[in-house]
Amino acid sequence: MMEVCGSSNVTLREFGSEQSLLSRPDGSASFIQGNTSVLAAAYGPAEVKVSKEIYDRATLEVLIQPKVGLPGVRERAQEQCVRETCEASLLLSLHPRSSLTLILQLIHDDGSLLSCFLNAACVALMDAGLPMSRLFCGVTCAIDADGQIITDPTAAQEKESRALMTFAIDATERRVMMSSTRGSFSVHELQQCIAVSQKASEKIFQFYRDSVRRRYSKTL
């Protein structure tokens, strides 16, 4: 039986976020987890191209910009993970025939990148005031060679891990909205990682609440 209690690896690195830091987009946020940082901007509901118009809901586009070069297959795969999570939480049917655009700019990758993308996306969508049925957050877990679970791993920890899992967790029922895994692991390990991520997500949701409260502190 694998034991994770009391392990020092199960921590979230220091994390932070700034909202509305860009003047042009309708909503923007930076999200920082340790050294990993991402900048997100959201536009919408805005004019949609005829070719992308959907008659009964808004079209959501997610663009991930790498630091060097043009977006490739890796970015496309991450875009899809983020887009599907956002689609599940946004109330897209409230703005039919319009477009929502979410742009995620990678600032620095030091592990747990996908979860950082998800968190930045959520804060930016919230900042843009888009109607959402629930909030979500991303948590990355790595299982190292000894079978220890590491939450929010750094790039070095990711490299040495046997398996890497990222979950998008919803705020109301702590359900798993999206999962992206790499490497091999047992069903038991998967369940344990989900349980750890659910616990960790509480911290992030509390952080969301605190930062929004702080933001509105002057207009109460």
Site for other proteins in 172-191 (CB under 8 A): 172, 187-188, 191
Q: Which is nearer to other proteins, 172 or 182 (CB)?
A: 172
Q: Which is nearer to other proteins, 69 or 145 (CB)?
A: 69
The answer to whether 213 contacts other proteins (rule: CB under 8 A) is yes
Strand partners, 169: 137, 176
Nearest distance from C-beta of residue 131 to other proteins, angstroms: 4
Closest to 137 (Cα-Cα) out of 195, 192, 206, 91: 206
Q: Which amino acid is at 180?
A: S
The answer to whether 46 contacts other proteins (rule: CB under 8 A) is yes
Chosen residue from 16, 72, 159, 182 binding other proteins by CB under 8 A: 16
The answer to whether 69 contacts other proteins (rule: CB under 8 A) is yes
The β-bridge relationship of strands 99-108 and 59-65 is parallel
Chain positions 104 to 143 lying near other proteins, rule: CB under 8 A, are 105, 107-108, 110, 126-135
What DSSP designation does 58 have? P
- Which residues make Cβ contacts (< 8 Å) with residue 2, sequence separation at least 6? 147, 188, 189, 192
Nearest distance from C-beta of residue 99 to other proteins, angstroms: 7
Q: Where are the alpha helices (DSSP H) in 90-186?
A: 113-127, 155-160
Q: Which is nearer to other proteins, 27 or 164 (CB)?
A: 27
Chosen residue from 78, 85, 99, 115 binding other proteins by CB under 8 A: 99
**What 3-state DSSP class applies to 88?**
helix
Chain positions 140 to 169 lying near other proteins, rule: CB under 8 A, are 151
Chosen residue from 52, 145, 146, 219 binding other proteins by CB under 8 A: 219
The answer to whether 27 contacts other proteins (rule: CB under 8 A) is yes
Tell me the C-alpha to C-alpha distance, in Å, between residue 117 and each of 108, 146, 182. 11, 28, 17
Q: How many residues bind other proteins (CB under 8 A)?
A: 98
Instruction: Tally the C-alpha atoms within 13 A of residue 95's C-alpha that lie toward its C-beta.
Output: 20
Nearest distance from C-beta of residue 49 to other proteins, angstroms: 9
133 near 45, Cβ under 8 Å?
no
